[in-house]
Structure 1
Amino acid sequence: MSDELGRRIGKREPFGTREEAAMLNLVRTADRVQGHAGRLLRDHGLTAAQYNVLRILRGLGAPTPILGIADRMLTETPGITGLIDRLEKLELVHRQRCDEDRRIIYVVIAPRAEAILKELDGPLKELQSRICSGLTPAELATLGRLLDKIREPLEAP
């Protein structure tokens, strides 16, 4: 693992620790995956964060408070309100006040966004299949467990 990464990045000395090699490998892999997915999303006029919001809203299938969206984001998004503003300007979502508590504002996915997501479903599945094509189902399960273990201390309250 680290030997291949070291060769690819032109490293002259071995990595100082296994942790260093693993973290750099993780960063490089995430960058490559995000790059390919980002290009696909840009072709449909979306950023990764915008796609994530729309994916959440479609998955929940109901108007959702902004903080409910923020809690489900895959990446940390400090400017969730601005992100929703931009999606609203693109006419991909709209806001709706709660009838019972006027302080609560829901975000609702627009039909145009549903259509864009539908267009992206196939190409994203193809990309995921291509990226993971070298892994067996057991390796994919192991990868998921290992990534969960890496993330766990970073997500603890």
Structure 2
Amino acid sequence: MTPPGLKDELKKRDPFGSKEQEAILNILRTSDLFHNRLGRLLRDHGLTGSQYNVLRILRGEGKPLPSLEIASRLIQVVPAITGLIDRLEKQELVSRVRCEKDRRVVYVAITDKALEILANIDQPLMDAHKRLMGHLTEAELQQLIDLLEKSRAAVTDDDS
């Protein structure tokens, strides 16, 4: 059975203005649903999506990173990386280390406490990914990835 389309979900009477509009609204609606579902899981572990993202970046890098480098790697852009890191530091999930060579640069390091939290999140998050996307075949997932990357590249090209 075919799932209801966005037009039906939104109880929209008139057709969308264009296929591009319908596609973007579908992406936004799906992103919102996924964001809410994954956000609940992260909240159960005391984190927001942005906080998790910072910790994931630091764990993946395996060494302290400057704040601006972390900001450039975030999935969702946050306007105030300093405030985000402040909150993580208050929770004892990161520590700050000032660069010896350039005192203006502050490195952010992940703590053992954060690594433990991430270890507890890893499997439930993988399970959530499977629940949200496991109904698609490998080929469909790759096609979706390719199309989304192609769409993001067009946005990046527009900016230059």
The TM-score range, normalised by the shorter chain, is over 0.9
Identical residues among aligned pairs (%):
51
Partner of 2:10: 9
List aligned pairs for 1:1-157, cutoff 5 A: 4-156=5-157, 157=160
1:153 Cα deviation (Å)? 2.7
Structure 1 counterpart SS, 2:107? strand
1:16 Cα deviation (Å)? 1.8
CA deviation map 1:80-139 (0-9, x unaligned): 011001100111000012233333211000111001100000000000011111211011
Aligned length: 157
Structure 2 counterpart SS, 1:107? strand
Distance (whole Å) between structure 1 residues aligned to residue 83 and residue 154 of structure 2: 29
TM-score normalised by the chain length of structure 2:
0.93
Runs of 4+ in 1 over 3 A off after TM superposition: none
Distance (whole Å) between structure 1 residues aligned to residue 104 and residue 10 of structure 2: 52
Structure 2 unmatched runs, 5+: none
Structure 2 counterpart SS, 1:95? strand
Distance (whole Å) between structure 2 residues aligned to residue 68 and residue 37 of structure 1: 24
Distance (whole Å) between structure 2 residues aligned to residue 20 and residue 102 of structure 1: 47
Q: Specify the code of the residue in structure 2 equivalent to 1:94.
A: S
Distance (whole Å) between structure 1 residues aligned to residue 90 and residue 143 of structure 2: 41
Structure 2 counterpart SS, 1:96? strand
TM-score normalised by the chain length of structure 1:
0.94
Distance (whole Å) between structure 1 residues aligned to residue 104 and residue 6 of structure 2: 51
Structure 1 counterpart SS, 2:5? helix
- When structure 1 is superposed on structure 2, of 36-45 and 92-101 the one drifting more is 92-101
- When structure 1 is superposed on structure 2, of 39-48 and 146-155 the one drifting more is 146-155
Q: Specify the code of the residue in structure 1 equivalent to 2:127.
A: E
1:9 Cα deviation (Å)? 1.2
CA deviation map 1:25-54 (0-9, x unaligned): 111100000010000001111000000000
Structure 2 counterpart SS, 1:100? coil
1:20 Cα deviation (Å)? 1.1
